Structure 1
């Protein structure tokens, strides 16, 4: 396989490390070439705390991806999370030497580079500088200034900051695993690439990615990133609560959570029990599913309250900043039964589960269907964007949209009850416009009748 034909996303999570190799097909969708997974042994709450174990886990995931894809992996786009991540708003500007020449990508990069020189707190480093809105001279609220003329170029930026030590540790693990880090991307931004639609970002939406060690949040409004944060709790702490609350080992606690866990105790019956095998000849233990749900509910409610606090910090309950598209839950933790109902009740926003496989062209066996792959696929998509930019290619978004319209043999009709019904498109809809319709034929007959009477 030729160089630059493929891209790689590397998700260094708290519970698992995933490597996905893929490329873009002719229709703009992603063709997966190979996937590698390994248990994450050296990461705690999104932060590397054991270098050698993390390196071994990365090597194992990469080796499996190389074996299944048949390509040699060299460059990877890596995700970063952890409680050390914070974000801030900043405005800056540059004065252009020649206002008669139109604004180019170089001007945008010069403005970004100026923001990257901001003095941070000791030990912190800027990860992302994300433009929100531009202003050219006196003209504001500009989404795309390239091609415009002006002397002063100004922008509001969303700046994502992280601890220098954590960033260096990730870079070292990737390097010592024999890889080159193409880019470092905040994980909720990667997840948003793979599960959010353009319409949702326009209307206002919060993506809540519940991983093993952290819950990552990104809020979009008017197609602009407005707020990002990382909550240092995820699915792992729910497993710990089950382990302690039910007095069982971690392996059984994880299995209980995945197979029988529920976020709403009221939906579980008192009479339903699950039997856990005893250790070394000890008697089996019976656990009520209602009791299990109560343990899960207590921690999930706490996480969702933290999410609510972040939504309030952004101003999501104000009329102008309202999230019309609500919340998209993703990550492995979103597989928990009845989580969506609890999220609706706790936050007051409608929510859905975000799956990343709609962008995948060849996921016939539904291997990547689960929301736990949202970040991995998002990192792959980010890597593909970087490659396209280097090759001077535009992302074929329009091709995807046109393809979807052509391939869809139905019309979605909104009924007064806010439900959607699928109505098959009649064959007459595809007939040539020059053929008269039934209505036109009736009108012709009526017209002819009156002409004969006259």
Structure 2
């Protein structure tokens, strides 16, 4: 596999996207090929039909391979779905020797302690994200490494998910003839693709409206503070149109995309769409006003649920205020007048997030659609993971080969290796499980 090329695989409820990307000389991500297929075996972000999902993955992968003339082997996959929940937790360790400074190992020990939390049956901790540390009671410490202290404590944002769902995703990938290189939480992937560092610092809520689920990620001071997955997305809007207008799903989806609006005041009473009847029946006439009323009702419900989660994080406290407001992304973000509706409900500044923050300047318009935010984020994650592996390899080689240093050469400062994220460990566990399960 050629280096500095990564593949993101976004297994969604409505579509599966395989995206191949590489870093160009300016450090931006260049998309070499993209393949998408209709997702048939996934419901609300969770695989419910392995065979169909495998076929859809293979289709998307083949299309991306044809577009890029590159053979896909390793993929970085996103996990979401209604089984994901998050909680806040505080923990501490007492250090045996407070005359030594706090180092990586202490933090590792503290994080491992969080993993001993008792979960519901079948659930496992996916992500442990330290928020801020306290050393001997001194609060609001961002980086405790190098400080002295006997008691190290931290607040953690803990993301929990069902391990069987994650293993099923792994199984699909393996059976599709691909190798699972990394697992990432989808709200985190989308956030990396569409948010700027300034927004993450100022405080921002990313709402990713997918087909089956709506993901939320809240950032403040550059740290992720809250994540949630709401089990509704664009599909329930289509369902409602189908029921409300007594038409088939395909027509409902087209109506939503072509004429849908989240703001009913927009349409005049006399604007009418005619839909061909089934097999010789009379065509149906639907007023756009009715259509947008149906859409509006459901969108308000989704946005209100997300807003409850933003309030749960504590947006109403001055210190936790999200100054950069809300960023909408995902396929559902393309709905007309959605931005205005979200601003109206939440009173927060809102923009639509396009994943062009880190893409090369000459990228195709299609790729920079909010539809592909997660896939772009997964490619970025895969590239980052490769860079980490490269750095670790170089470090190992440096340890093996003793260097003869001339006396007067100043040694470059050693870069500290990035802490292995829990997701890397989870990926390994899923891989081991799959290898031993056959």
TM-score normalised to structure 2 length: 0.85
For 1:17 and 1:23, the matched residues in 2 are separated by 20
Cα contact 1:357–1:363 (8 A) shared by 2: no
Q: 1:19: which partner in 2?
A: 18
Cα contact 1:85–1:230 (8 A) shared by 2: yes
Distance 1:360 1:230, change over 3 A: same
TM-superposed CA distance for 1:95, in Å, is 4.4
For 2:364 and 2:381, the matched residues in 1 are separated by 24
- Regions of 4+ moved over 6 Å: none
Greater CA drift, 189-198 or 313-322: 313-322
CA deviations on 1:266-301 (whole Å, 9 max, x unpaired) are 011112111211211112222111111011001001
Q: 1:91: which partner in 2?
A: 90
TM-superposed CA distance for 1:185, in Å, is 1.6
Q: 1:442: which partner in 2?
A: none
Q: 1:59: which partner in 2?
A: 58
1:77 aligns with 2:76: yes
Q: 1:33: which partner in 2?
A: 32
User: Superposition pairs for residues 366-381 of structure 1, below 5 Å?
Assistant: 366-381=365-380
SS state of the match for residue 357, structure 1? coil
1:299 aligns with 2:298: yes
Greater CA drift, 329-338 or 168-177: 168-177
TM-superposed CA distance for 1:92, in Å, is 2.3
SS state of the match for residue 60, structure 1? helix
Cα contact 1:210–1:334 (8 A) shared by 2: yes
Q: 1:115: which partner in 2?
A: 114
TM-superposed CA distance for 1:140, in Å, is 2.9
User: Superposition pairs for residues 412-423 of structure 1, below 5 Å?
Assistant: none
SS state of the match for residue 230, structure 1? strand
Distance 1:8 1:105, change over 3 A: farther
Cα contact 1:32–1:362 (8 A) shared by 2: no
CA deviations on 1:54-99 (whole Å, 9 max, x unpaired) are 1111111111122222222222111111121111112223445665
TM-superposed CA distance for 1:103, in Å, is 4.2
Cα contact 1:17–1:40 (8 A) shared by 2: yes
User: Superposition pairs for residues 3-402 of structure 1, below 5 Å?
Assistant: 3-96=2-95, 102-361=101-360, 363-392=362-391
TM-score normalised to structure 1 length: 0.82
For 2:364 and 2:5, the matched residues in 1 are separated by 21
Task: Please provide the CA RMSD for this pair.
Answer: 1.8
For 1:110 and 1:26, the matched residues in 2 are separated by 38
Cα contact 1:127–1:184 (8 A) shared by 2: no
For 1:82 and 1:235, the matched residues in 2 are separated by 14
CA deviations on 1:89-128 (whole Å, 9 max, x unpaired) are 1222344566565544444334323322322111101111
Q: 2:405: which partner in 1?
A: none
CA deviations on 1:195-214 (whole Å, 9 max, x unpaired) are 11111111111111100000
CA deviations on 1:183-234 (whole Å, 9 max, x unpaired) are 2222111111111111111111111110000011111111121111111100
Structure 2 unaligned blocks of 5 or more: 393-438
Cα contact 2:211–2:332 (8 A) shared by 1: yes
Structure 1 unaligned blocks of 5 or more: 394-454
SS state of the match for residue 388, structure 2? helix
TM-superposed CA distance for 1:323, in Å, is 1.3
SS state of the match for residue 193, structure 2? helix
Distance 1:96 1:32, change over 3 A: farther
- Structure with max Cα Rg: 1
For 1:214 and 1:144, the matched residues in 2 are separated by 34
For 2:139 and 2:19, the matched residues in 1 are separated by 41
Cα contact 2:133–2:141 (8 A) shared by 1: yes
